[in-house]
Structure 1
């Protein structure tokens, strides 16, 4: 005897499925409806991601050799202010969109100078979507561009331009200022963590030697400035600052291969644990990657070659393994 099995879910009253049921969302609407797809979450981590994405644009200018200073300010009203002395976002009309290049970058997904490899050899963040995502997730955003002797400005509300790009003054230098307020409907009341943001900005300064990053929280009256002439070498010294090191100066290696710059800085301490951090385009690759695997393999091979060459290992003795050579190691790998 068989028994009828009820359906797992109740059927919809309307069994019709037509072309009208398929929604096509524009870039801005898609971002606002599913922000987690672009910035990971809408909690404090997502809020911080908005700051990082704007700073990444300034970092790209620094990595291109066109920016020496970045100022990041959390204003008393919760707005975020990011200024750099780079080349400034172009304001000419873009041939593909028939709007200014500035508006195109701020409102169009996958619009930017990071794809062809001509303007930026390397870049970080959400390539070509970072600024437009931040704009779409902000209740208000203003861009000021200093370029060609003029000061340009454009404001947006929830990613929609309030007006055309206009000239609001003169400028004696170049650069970009972006000020935005994260949308409370999406993130709730903005609560930025000064310590978390400052540590990330410190990392960026270490990875871009001789770049000055000033960070201020006006509400908490906190301020820090980061500038490191040693770059990744200074980073290693910072990580080993409370440890007894085995050699005074960190070992620094740098090489350019097919326009890719590879940097490694390492120093041994009296501990047993390994502290190796890897970065790609200034973004921490917490899950590792081929750059980290290659470094570890090369380090083990170098130790074994040296040990055999100097008769420290006999022919019948097994080679050193990775755990042997990485004990007490502090290293930074950046590509």
Structure 2
């Protein structure tokens, strides 16, 4: 049972934590899944801070089947002795006192992610039950909390959050639960989130947890993070594991640090190697310091800021940057990222001006977008007591960090550009060529946009001759079919609705733009025609509001070559016209594979049924046999769109009333980029391995030869 009264001993503690329970969004952002995950990050980050300080090389995160989560580290263990000012053990201070911890004075942690001293106590306040065990000094100490109040649970068998709870009356007790092996230290925290606080659909997201674990393993070389999801055994996992009966366990450890992180994030072909830039800088700031008598006094202190940066440029135009402060991600940037971007622009702008004659720059100036195009970078800074904007730590606010990052980048990147090594000189030259090419493309696109008005289909005289356009200029209704081959074009021309459906034939397989440069793509006739017909530009200058058609439909044959052509087209859209995919305006037509003519008795006309897969055909034939119906033999198998007549193509593939379309979606751009690089990129070996590993899944009968 749960007691409704607070004991006087802990009344003051609970008053502090009650503020957290009343306004959880102030501390964790929301009371949905993001807030639930933020609580988990707070506990994990405490363990990571121990590992960063050289204490422990492994952290286990376990999602239990009962909805609880456990974090186990091999650090020094939370102090178990009495804190003199409060008279409480270190464990109770950490988990019940707001703004209490070992990260204020800099004695225990030189630079840590947790600095407000509210992380563990906030998680405790928002948990129905929290159990902590500490291995220290040859003993295992344990303490339990119910919604922030320390006490004892009367467990019978498995630990449960609804077990009878008795709060401590006069004084708290940190009990000795057993012996710890000699030399073993660490902390285990297991908690059940309070469903009075969090919404019913709030759940731990395994994919998000794995991404965070992987990211942290990159940032702390040598640290192993193991994530185990036991929810699979009960089917309660929000993601669908590969097995319905076994736990899912993954382990992350990277010894290469952020340089390996950059290589993981980058998906395009490299122009430069991954450049590693490191340095330190000092600054002074006035901060309140807690004195021995308990008073806060302002004092000027000197801080040291360590900067570690890894970056590389690739052939693409997408920018991927990740910034961190003391291992904590700052997705909304802050002063460290501002200093990086501003100084990067200054250095490269100066280099372009020095080489203006060779690069044929003219009077145009390089802008930030030109420099960031194709850049993949990971920036980390270590700062004692950084100033974050709020407990969620999404933005760094320490002003002096901007200048420190700029100084380190100016010195190290300048040395890279003035290096006499042949490899460095070649890479620097290629980088400047890319930056200037991006600048010229931006200037040309702006001039083109300013001088050329949008023309509708009837006014345009510069569209490709092979385009069979529609009469309507209403973008919301119009559709562009990209058709494989001239033979299919003839049939599609007769099958289309000429008011709203336009046709653009492509000959054979277009260029694989994942492996080609921008110049090669633009000089390819088929790629250039598609971009020109859609009319919204390409790459960073793509303007979806200028697109001439509401739907782009890829219509290729229902065979292996047709699938390959469709993949090549999707690669073009993903790399250079991605907003069309993001807004769900790209579709794949689904032409039928078979035509079955069912014979009806007497004068009743025969019935025509189309099927779209071998399984669907076999199911139909079984149904017809059961009904004692006959059909014409042989069953027609379409090997291409050109084999259909206009009526058949219209009814099955083009007519809005009866056709089947597959919308191309992209929920995770990063994952989609990795898939395109795997399928269409320069590395052939992974594709070969995929074919070999999956060969047993291929049926010989399905090979159309």
Of 158, 175, 178, the residue aligned with 2:189 is: 178
CA distances 1:176-208 after superposition (whole Å, capped 9, x unpaired): 110000012212455211001111222111111
Give 1:138-287 correspondences, 5 Å limit: 138-162=127-151, 164-171=173-180, 172=182, 173-189=184-200, 191-220=203-232, 221-240=247-266, 242-247=267-272, 249-258=273-282, 259-287=304-332
CA distance in 2, matches of 1:188, 1:302: 49
Aligned 8 A contact 2:262 2:274 in 1: yes
Does 2:78 correspond to 1:89?
A: yes
User: Please, which moves more after superposition, 94-103 or 26-35?
Assistant: 26-35
Query: 1:307, CA displacement in angstroms?
Result: 4.0
On the 8 A contact 2:227/2:250 being kept in 1, the answer is: yes
The question of 1:77 aligning with 2:62 is answered: no
The C-alpha deviation readout for 1:150-179, integer Å capped at 9, x for no partner, is 111111111111151111222221111100
For residues 367 and 25 of structure 2, the distance between their equivalents in structure 1, rounded to whole angstroms, comes to 41
Judge conservation of contact 1:53–1:126 (CA < 8 Å) in 2: no
The more displaced of 188-197 and 175-184 is 188-197
Out of 41, 53, 64, the position equivalent to 2:53 is 64
What is residue 50 of structure 1 aligned with on the other side? 39
* Distance apart, 1:59 and its partner CA: 1.1
Structure 1 length-normalised TM:
0.87
Gaps of 5+ in 1: 1-23
TM superposition shift of 1:316: 7.4
Distance 1:196 1:283 in 2: 15
Instruction: Select between 129-138 and 169-178 the one with higher mean Cα deviation.
Output: 169-178
Rg bigger for which structure? 2
In the aligned structure 2, how far is the partner of 1:122 from the partner of 1:37? 24
Structure 2 counterpart of 1:295: 340
Report what 2:23 is aligned to: 34
How many Å separate the matches in 2 of 1:324 and 1:159? 52
Q: Which moved more, 1:261-270 or 1:293-302?
A: 293-302
CA deviation profile, 1:191-246 (whole Å, cap 9, x unmatched): 21100111122211111121111111111222211111111111111111x32222
Q: Give the Cα separation in 1 of the matches to 2:366 and 2:23.
A: 50
Once residues 316 and 41 of structure 1 are traced to their aligned partners in structure 2, the CA distance between those partners, rounded to angstroms, is 52
User: How many residue pairs are counted as aligned between the two chains?
Assistant: 310
Q: Which has the higher contact order (CA 8 A, sep 6+)?
A: 1
Separation in 2, partners of 1:45, 1:126: 21
What is the correspondence of 1:84-123 to structure 2 with a 5 Å cutoff? 84-123=73-112
SS at match of 1:128: coil
When structure 1 is superposed on structure 2, of 307-316 and 165-174 the one drifting more is 307-316
| Distance in 2 of aligned mates of 1:286 and 1:168 | 41
- Name 1:330's counterpart in structure 2: 376
Give the secondary-structure state (helix, strand or coil) at the position aligned to 1:89.
coil
Aligned to 1:11: none
Distance 2:131 2:379 in 1: 36
Find the residue that maps to 2:197 and give its secondary structure. Answer: helix
- For residue 26 of structure 1, give the secondary structure of its aligned residue in structure 2: helix
TM-fit CA distance, 1:45:
0.7
Shift of 1:276: 1.4
Structure 2 CA distance for aligned equivalents of residues 80 and 128 of structure 1:
21
Indicate the residue corresponding to 2:683 in structure 1: none
User: Secondary structure, in 3 states, of the residue corresponding to 1:187?
Assistant: coil
1:191–1:324 CA distance, 2 compared to 1 (3 A): closer
Deviation at 1:25, TM superposition (A): 7.8
RMSD: 2.1
Residue 284 (structure 1) shift: 2.2
User: Does 183-192 or 300-309 show the bigger shift?
Assistant: 300-309
Partners of 1:95 and 1:315 in 2: CA distance: 68
> TM-score, normalised to structure 2's length?
0.42
Mapped partners of 2:205, 2:372: distance in 1: 33
Secondary structure, counterpart of 2:322 in structure 1? strand
Match of residue 321 from structure 1: 367
- Structure 2 runs not aligned, ≥5 long: 1-12, 153-172, 233-246, 283-303, 382-705
Deviation at 1:267, TM superposition (A): 1.0
What whole-Å deviation, never above 9, does each CA across 1:281-326 have from its counterpart, x for those lacking one?
Answer: 2222222212111111222233244445566468975553322222
Q: Distance in 2 between matches of 1:215 and 1:116?
A: 32
Deviation, structure 1 residue 125: 4.1
Instruction: For 2:334 and 2:39, locate their aligned partners in 1 and report how far apart those are by CA, in whole Å.
Output: 25
CA distance in 2 between partners of 1:317 and 1:102 (Å): 65
Q: Structure 1 or 2: larger helix share?
A: 2
Q: Distance in 2 between matches of 1:92 and 1:214?
A: 30
For the Cα contact (< 8 Å) 1:308–1:314, is it kept in 2? no
Aligned-partner Cα distance in 2 for 1:181–1:126:
24
- Separation in 1, partners of 2:22, 2:203: 22
